[in-house]
Chain A
Amino acid sequence: MKAVDAAADAFLSPPPFPPVARLQDVSLNYGRTKALERITLDLPSGSMVGFIGPDGVGKSSLLSLVAGARKIQSGRISVLEGDMADAGHRRAACPRIAYMPQGLGRNLYPTLSVFENADFFGRLFGHAREEREHRIGNLLSATGLAPFADRPAGKLSGGMKQKLGLCCALIHDPDLLILDEPTTGVDPLSRRQFWELITRIRVGRPGMSVLVATAYMEEAARFDWLVAMNAGRLLAAEAPRELLDATGTATLEEAFIALLPPSQREGYRPVVIPPREPDADSGKTAIEAHGLTMRFGDFTAVDSVSFRIGQGEIFGFLGSNGCGKTTTMKMLTGLLPASEGEARLFGRPVDPKDIETRRRVGYMTQSFSLYGELTVRQNLVLHARLFRMPEEGIPARVEEMARRFGLSEEMESLPASLPLGHRQRLSLAVAMIHGPEMLILDEPTSGVDPVARDAFWQIMIDLARRDKVTIFISTHFMNEAERCDRISLMHAGRVLVSDAPAALIEKRGVNTLEEAFIGYLEEAEESMADGDATAPDGPSEIPAGQSAPAGAAKSDFFSLRRLFSYNRREALELLRDPIRLTLAMLGSVILMIVMGYGINMDVEDLSFAVLDRDQTTLSRDYALNLSGSRYFREQPPIKDHADLDRRMRAGEISLAIEIPPDFSRSLHRGSPVAIGAWIDGAMPTRAETVRGYVQGMHAHWMANLARHALGPVATAGAASIEIRFRYNPDVKSLPAMVPAVIPLLLMMIPAMLTALAVVREKELGSIVNFYVTPTTRLEFLLGKQIPYVCLAFLNFLLLTALAVAVFRLPIKGSFTALAAGAALYSIAATALGLVISAFMRSQIAALFGTTLLTILPAVQFSGMNDPVSSLEGAGAVIGRIYPTTHFLTIARGTFSKGLGFSDLSASFLPLLLAVPILIALGTLLLRKQES
């Protein structure tokens, strides 16, 4: 046996082929964490290269660097004979590279169908229609996905998603295929089919190089060449056989452990399972299910499943993706009410309201149920408290869990910065913090490296055997299934068989559990296929890469084809979300009606009251003069000053008139007398209007009085003023407001639609398609923008029709000018949303930012109420450049003032400028690589 000190110097044997990628001194840091440390490595071309190593050692980082999805921090990487730091080379090389990121279907678009997903990639690489259909047809039938071409990608099982991902990656005949853990979380049968597919493809395209990261050592054993990594460093890089020889081990799993530095190796012990005590079966029943059935609509996800699990038993649940394991587990935890049948925990029926039972159960889901914003410690403490552990016991318990799960050094880190496997450990620690009597674990070890998995199982076995904790676990790993006391095989909602692993192998008469498993599954699929015409045909031949790599020659700076490819996809996604479409269209109609009628500057029906201390005919006539108008409504008279004060404070009256004692007498005597008027100044606009009304009516009353006393001569003034209210002769709010509401809505709704467009892809992961395809930033943004511009313009037509038909507001000017303005404005509004989207990192921030950046400027600074020229300070500056201001002028000009293009040219210019400026800004803010 050869001693290996891998940390000191990795042993590298020369690769058998010229390298497809060369890495020199490559390092990568995430903040203070070192992901890769000075890696120097040549990757052979034309072969299958596997990357193995524990979680978080930098395999994914390395692959994304090679794919060009991530920005190189230091060192040199050359792929396909060119420098990946050079954007020009990346653009030229990426049509020859295909990259499938980690996570099931992460780069697929869930609402698009299987065919549409593949079609999107095909268009992106510039295949003509005929070629595209031919290629997609071939790939889909080769992967057995042809019968499901119309199914949305989001509704596929995990294994099918990965096959579709592969189709999308292979559509452009890449020379380099990069797969990051493509089979993690995929059941053995699908996994086997996946590798068979890759093998056939390689037969067709022998020159293709494949880089694969995997957590399955038995998969890695079949690769041509292996790269073993640990803690950001290289342990070894050679063929599997040599690796085994060098470490003197029989399996890769052992070889890998042998390669680890001594400090990590020390803690490792092979998992030993003490047999269950014979009296165990006579013990109490922990979980019991009878005829458990779950239907979603007419789809039966789980079909009368029954089982019984004793206390302290480790019960494994195996099955293909989407066979109903997760649904069954959710029914057991009470998350889903069963359609039929009954489940009992600790002898009590599952009841979602039963808080006591929940305290005895620990549950861990497939997706990480951790709070990304809380540190590891905070997550643990929070859960301890929620499980109502005594406060004084929590710190000790948290320390204990941290030690047990090897999290002690990461207590203050955020889960997001932890590698997948560590996060899984944290999830389990969280599920066990309260010392539950039962653990329900849904694929807890998916994506976890072998060492960590063994450590994890050691803990579980200790729990089961020593503390009599019942464990109900689902898994895709056969060596884990073998460790269970009993397992159930599930397929298409039904339990096929339940027994001890050894008994199953014996029953099928095979050597391994995997073979037994696949045997049962194939049998089940055959029996289903008999009655099901849509079952996949046998995978057909893989198309050989006869044509030259398409798109390579066309990777210029701007391609309409790629732009339309993104455009088409975005439009399809929008069409698949009818709720969003309806909200956008119907919503703007509702808002327009509400605002058209609601924003009313005509102040009418103001409440006023009189404190009449004179109580004569004349004083009452004065009050009648006010209450007789449509502007004022008289309230009960005011008793005294205290009453006046109280009612004004309460907002009951907005105007109080005080007529002094001796009013009538003074007036007749001709001595000066004053009427007091108090206006509620809390709302200045209203107060101003009230003031105007009162002054006018006072003058009117005085004139009347004078006419009665002196005859008509006295009323003639020195000069008169003739007021012409233009465009809106009645000074009504509606004709003034409706044309202003259209620009307002056309800003806010389209901006909100696009604001989430990019940031959503960032959050959900499909942005990686943009990183690794030849799409330029401008193509990406414009492609995304076009559907929303169309939607916004449709919205404009709808709102205009509403203004004309419902509000009876004719367009007095040129409709063409209005429509042209609206088209420009729609582009500007959607571009503004994209700028926000390109800049923000999270959807919430984009949402909030958009409301802040649209509502305030559009409502207050764009001249809806106050002309921009009257504004002050920053508001005035914003008002001058904000697009709404200019479209508002166009809308009012064409609706009310009868204007056309030539009159409004001054308003078109700023819009014409805003469009390229905003698009350029969005393009600059968008990153073409992950930093």
Chain B
Amino acid sequence: MRAANIFHLGNKELRSLLRDPVMLFLILYAFTYAVYIASAAMPETLHKAPIAIVDEDRSPLSTRIIDAFYPPYFLSPALISRSEMDARMDAGLDTFAVNIPPGFQRDVLAGRSPTIQLNVDATRMSQAFVGSGYIQTIIGTEISSFLQGYRANPPPPVELALRARFNPQLNKSWFGAVMKVIDNVTMLSIILTGAALIREREHGTVEHLLVMPVTPFEIMAGKVWAMALVVLAATAGSLVFVVQGLLAVPIQGSILLFLAGSALHLFATTSLGIFLGTLARSMPQFGLLVMLILIPLQILSGSVTPRESMPDAVQFAMMAAPNTHFVILAQAILYRGAGLAVVWPQFVTLVLIGASLFGLSLARFRKTLAAMA
């Protein structure tokens, strides 16, 4: 009997959503085009990095070095004068500026070990560190091969065989696509449930439900399952058609297992949405609350920067957020092909977080209903 109520109430939510073409369009947009452009725009760590070269040597060696920088890693180098260098970097035109001193080739051949200056705009964190490594390697290689004609270089005694697993080319769009889907799952589920609750309150329909033989638990559960279902369907579609199909990202593990994990995550986030819906008294307040909660959830969950590098306090606090576990399980399943044997701790944690959020919202929900009636 109870289950029937939950079913009917959820059905009502689905019907309401179907009547809202703008919302449907936005959901579709979020899970298709937004995922696509986010992933397609995402550059490799070093992709078209803007570089400028001040060539004061104008020798065959310096020309050789200049020619070694080409797309896609670097934009074709801008050849500039020494005086332009600082201004261009200030304006943010270049991330890197290489200064080859006069008489460079002569000094190299003479074994005087001359110095090339490499200026890096270190406010561009993502390119600065990796890029300078690349540039060092490229210049080193060019000098060695230039010298090969003149003197023999012994091969290094120990070779380092570096291999990246799960994503051999370290293709960032693979990562970006899935993480975008994950971010959208969280955003949509919170907004849909929270805003639906506020709308019901503003239109007086919640109050009406309460005089009927339905319990707050049933009202909440109805919202949770219906909205979770919508998001889950959108996720599955997005993963199969956009991520796997359009963006051709190989998925290692079982999509079904991932969807099961998503369902648990949605249980937690839809409950969170209802919780926020009870805290906010109006839609404008809810909008701000969503921003306040959503941004840290997304940025600190490990889907943007690695968790390891966050301060311990943040890492610890974020253990309470469902996103963190969802990101961990998503990365494990989708990229590393992990099975339930590996991700079960995340599943269990999500159930626990979901249940406590649901319990908390239910208590709040009952209380706010009593207060507003």
Within 8 Å CB of A725, what residues of B? 120, 122, 128, 132
Contacts known (A847-B286, A870-B48); A692 close to B37, Cβ less than 8 A? no
Q: Is A156 an interface residue (CB 8 A)?
A: no
Q: Which residue of B lies closest to A651 (CB)?
A: B332
Within 8 Å CB of B127, what residues of A? 866-867, 870
Interface string of B87-101 (1 = CB under 8 A from A): 101111001000000
Shortest distance between the CB of B294 and any CB in chain A (Å): 7
B112-157 residues at the A interface, CB under 8 angstroms:
113-130, 132-133, 135-136, 139-140, 143-144, 147, 155-157
Contact present for A682 and B175 (CB under 8 Å)? yes
Identify which of A692, A722, A878 contacts B130 (C-beta below 8 A).
A692
Q: Is A590 an interface residue (CB 8 A)?
A: yes
Contact present for B164 and A369 (CB under 8 Å)? no
Contact present for B281 and A579 (CB under 8 Å)? yes
Contact present for B125 and A387 (CB under 8 Å)? no
Within 8 Å CB of B205, what residues of A? 369-371
Contact present for B41 and A892 (CB under 8 Å)? no
Q: Is B348 an interface residue (CB 8 A)?
A: no
Q: Is B349 an interface residue (CB 8 A)?
A: no
Shortest distance between the CB of B152 and any CB in chain A (Å): 12
* A5-B16 Cα distance, complex, nearest whole Å: 43
Interface string of B298-324 (1 = CB under 8 A from A): 111000111011110010000000000
* A553-B118 Cα distance, complex, nearest whole Å: 69
Contact present for B157 and A670 (CB under 8 Å)? yes
Q: Is A465 an interface residue (CB 8 A)?
A: no
Q: Is B328 an interface residue (CB 8 A)?
A: yes
Interface string of B272-301 (1 = CB under 8 A from A): 000000000111111111111011101110
Contact present for A844 and B211 (CB under 8 Å)? no
Contacts known (A583-B289, A735-B123); A698 close to B160, Cβ less than 8 A? yes
Shortest distance between the CB of B75 and any CB in chain A (Å): 7
Identify which of B42, B111, B118 contacts A724 (C-beta below 8 A).
B118
Q: Which residue of B lies closest to A740 (CB)?
A: B123
Shortest distance between the CB of B21 and any CB in chain A (Å): 9
Q: Is B1 an interface residue (CB 8 A)?
A: yes
Within 8 Å CB of B296, what residues of A? 591, 594-595, 598
Interface string of B9-26 (1 = CB under 8 A from A): 101100111111011001
Contact present for A385 and B92 (CB under 8 Å)? no
* A927-B267 Cα distance, complex, nearest whole Å: 40
Contact present for A672 and B159 (CB under 8 Å)? yes
Q: Is A245 an interface residue (CB 8 A)?
A: no
Contacts known (A688-B170, A845-B22); A869 close to B75, Cβ less than 8 A? yes
Within 8 Å CB of A216, what residues of B? none
Q: Is B174 an interface residue (CB 8 A)?
A: yes
Contact present for A336 and B370 (CB under 8 Å)? yes
Within 8 Å CB of A694, what residues of B? 160, 162
Contacts known (A336-B370, A844-B195, A870-B127); A852 close to B34, Cβ less than 8 A? yes
Within 8 Å CB of A867, what residues of B? 49-50, 92, 95, 124, 127
Contact present for B162 and A387 (CB under 8 Å)? no
* A876-B37 Cα distance, complex, nearest whole Å: 9
A397-450 residues at the B interface, CB under 8 angstroms:
414
Contacts known (A844-B23, A852-B26); A685 close to B305, Cβ less than 8 A? yes
* A874-B41 Cα distance, complex, nearest whole Å: 7
Q: Is A815 an interface residue (CB 8 A)?
A: no
Shortest distance between the CB of B321 and any CB in chain A (Å): 12
Contact present for B91 and A903 (CB under 8 Å)? yes
Contact present for B37 and A691 (CB under 8 Å)? no
Selected interface stretch from B226-234, B334-342, B357-365: B334-342
* A841-B156 Cα distance, complex, nearest whole Å: 68
Contact present for A355 and B158 (CB under 8 Å)? no
Q: Which residue of B lies closest to A363 (CB)?
A: B211
Q: Is B353 an interface residue (CB 8 A)?
A: no
Contact present for A736 and B124 (CB under 8 Å)? yes
Within 8 Å CB of A355, what residues of B? 213, 215
Interface string of A108-119 (1 = CB under 8 A from B): 000000000000
Q: Is B38 an interface residue (CB 8 A)?
A: yes
Q: Which residue of B lies closest to A595 (CB)?
A: B299
Q: Is A358 an interface residue (CB 8 A)?
A: yes
Shortest distance between the CB of A640 and any CB in chain B (Å): 16
Contacts known (A334-B211, A648-B336, A667-B158); A892 close to B123, Cβ less than 8 A? yes
Shortest distance between the CB of A429 and any CB in chain B (Å): 14
Within 8 Å CB of B187, what residues of A? 851, 855
Interface string of A828-864 (1 = CB under 8 A from B): 0000000000001111110111111001100111000
Selected interface stretch from B196-204, B235-243, B254-262: B196-204
Contact present for B160 and A875 (CB under 8 Å)? no
Q: Is A280 an interface residue (CB 8 A)?
A: no
Q: Is A897 an interface residue (CB 8 A)?
A: yes
Contacts known (A683-B331, A865-B125); A385 close to B4, Cβ less than 8 A? yes
Q: Which residue of B lies closest to A358 (CB)?
A: B213
Q: Is B70 an interface residue (CB 8 A)?
A: no
Q: Which residue of A lies closest to B308 (CB)?
A: A605
* Tally of contact residues, A, Cβ under 8 A: 152
Shortest distance between the CB of A401 and any CB in chain B (Å): 16
Within 8 Å CB of A816, what residues of B? none
* A651-B124 Cα distance, complex, nearest whole Å: 28
Interface string of A368-401 (1 = CB under 8 A from B): 1111111000100011011110000000000000
* A570-B4 Cα distance, complex, nearest whole Å: 46
Within 8 Å CB of A352, what residues of B? 210, 370
Q: Is B168 an interface residue (CB 8 A)?
A: yes
Contacts known (A579-B281, A601-B125, A875-B37); A847 close to B175, Cβ less than 8 A? no
Contact present for B291 and A752 (CB under 8 Å)? yes
Contact present for B113 and A727 (CB under 8 Å)? no
Within 8 Å CB of A755, what residues of B? 287
Q: Which residue of B lies closest to A673 (CB)?
A: B158
Q: Is A145 an interface residue (CB 8 A)?
A: no
Q: Which residue of B lies closest to A843 (CB)?
A: B283
Contacts known (A374-B12, A729-B122); A872 close to B38, Cβ less than 8 A? no
* A319-B138 Cα distance, complex, nearest whole Å: 88
Shortest distance between the CB of A624 and any CB in chain B (Å): 16
Contact present for B113 and A896 (CB under 8 Å)? no
Identify which of B144, B196, B310 contacts A844 (C-beta below 8 A).
B196
Interface string of A720-734 (1 = CB under 8 A from B): 111111111101010
Contact present for B45 and A684 (CB under 8 Å)? yes
Contacts known (A583-B288, A650-B338, A870-B47); A718 close to B147, Cβ less than 8 A? yes
Contact present for A845 and B40 (CB under 8 Å)? no
Contact present for B284 and A718 (CB under 8 Å)? no
Shortest distance between the CB of B76 and any CB in chain A (Å): 12
Within 8 Å CB of A889, what residues of B? 91-92
Q: Is A359 an interface residue (CB 8 A)?
A: yes
Identify which of A371, A673, A719, A903 contacts B143 (C-beta below 8 A).
A719
Contacts known (A334-B211, A584-B288); A865 close to B126, Cβ less than 8 A? yes
Q: Is A61 an interface residue (CB 8 A)?
A: no
Contact present for A847 and B92 (CB under 8 Å)? no
Identify which of B45, B140, B213 contacts A685 (C-beta below 8 A).
B45
Contact present for B166 and A680 (CB under 8 Å)? yes
Contacts known (A365-B204, A371-B16, A689-B129); A695 close to B121, Cβ less than 8 A? no
Interchain residue pairs with CB less than 8 A apart (28):
A370-B205, A386-B5, A388-B1, A587-B291, A591-B291, A595-B299, A598-B310, A601-B129, A649-B338, A681-B164, A684-B45, A688-B46, A689-B129, A722-B117, A725-B128, A726-B89, A728-B128, A736-B122, A736-B124, A753-B288, A756-B287, A840-B22, A843-B195, A843-B283, A852-B29, A870-B43, A874-B40, A875-B38
For the complex of A and B, 10 pairs with smallest distance between CB atoms: A875-B41, A369-B208, A681-B167, A681-B164, A728-B122, A373-B16, A335-B373, A682-B335, A725-B122, A373-B19
Known: A587-B292, A845-B26. 18 other contacts (CB 8 A): A356-B213, A598-B300, A607-B308, A672-B159, A674-B161, A675-B160, A679-B163, A681-B168, A681-B170, A692-B129, A719-B116, A720-B114, A723-B132, A753-B284, A845-B23, A848-B23, A867-B49, A872-B40
